[in-house]
Amino acid sequence: MPRDIPDLGQDGEGSVQVHQDESAKIEGAKVFSVYGKGGIGKSTTSSNLSAAFTKLGKRVLQIGCDPKHDSTFTLTGRLQNTVIDVLKEVDFHAEELRPEDFVAVGYGGVQCVEAGGPPAGTGCGGYVVGQTVKLLKQHHMLEDTDVVIFDVLGDVVCGGFAAPLQHADRALIVTANDFDSIYAMNRIIAAVQAKSKNYKVRLAGCVANRSKDTDEVDRYCRTVGFDRIAHMPDVDAIRRSRLKKKTLFEMPDEEDIVRCRAEYVRLAKLLWDGTEGKAPESLPDREIFELLGFD
């Protein structure tokens, strides 16, 4: 179990650092965590990215880390039981579970897991993420995996937000070309940078999602020393794919869909080949307002 050890000033000023148990490390796979403000399209990005990795011949495991447990439904076509729910059913005796009790196979053979979360106000999402990784290791589900993708909830101050950073090699931020999304990205950068002092995680870059233009995102990136590494345009095909409970890779070969698929595959290849770890400097709130033209 993790141990809470005061380590002020290294993992965020005034914070309590949670040191990861060595036995909980994910080994052998490349691990990516996907971040962004609520509703920005993290699950859509994660699921299509998982599908894209399978096109490169990779064995993929996607872990949804939001209590809504809707990260993987476009891969599986349904909402599935969460790890926390199935553990409750067996009174947290994990040895009574089988992999099929909490892992579903989705499009392209992607292994799909929904960590779930405690009822509102009753516990920490970080604990749930930790139990999920522990359970996967107990059942040897990580031994034949090339890529692990954590699809992380949007709350920057939650333990469920921070826990995947203990496992990830690279963190990816999904944003849009607007103030609120970039403001959230700025906070996420600060959080990841704090974690990177004690863990191997580094920032890979950002994905401009559902955006016709990228001028504001690019201006922010130039200012802080960050990279936009993909752009998913605001096309109706993505909305329709969610309604049909499918990834873009299962949709008809329309021009917009083919173009978006190609961008996801390009992003997957870029991440697999390895991105330089970025170390941007997040901006104070006032400077964000001044940069993006708000009074």
Q: Which sequence positions are flagged as catalytic?
A: 37, 42, 68, 155
**Residue 152: beta bridge partners?**
65
DSSP state of 165: G
Residue whose C-alpha is closest to residue 83's, from 95, 62, 69: 69
Own/partner pairs for 26-30, CB < 8 Å, 24+ apart? Answer: 26/133, 26/137, 26/142, 26/148, 26/167, 27/142, 28/142, 28/143, 28/145, 29/61, 29/142, 29/145, 29/146, 29/147, 29/148, 30/146, 30/147, 30/148, 30/169, 30/170, 30/271, 30/272
List the Cα angle 50/54/58 in 5-degree steps: 105
DSSP state of 278: B
Helix (H) or strand (E) holding 205: strand 202-209
User: What residues contact 39, with CB distance under 8 A and at least 6 apart?
Assistant: 154
d(CA 129, CA 282): 26
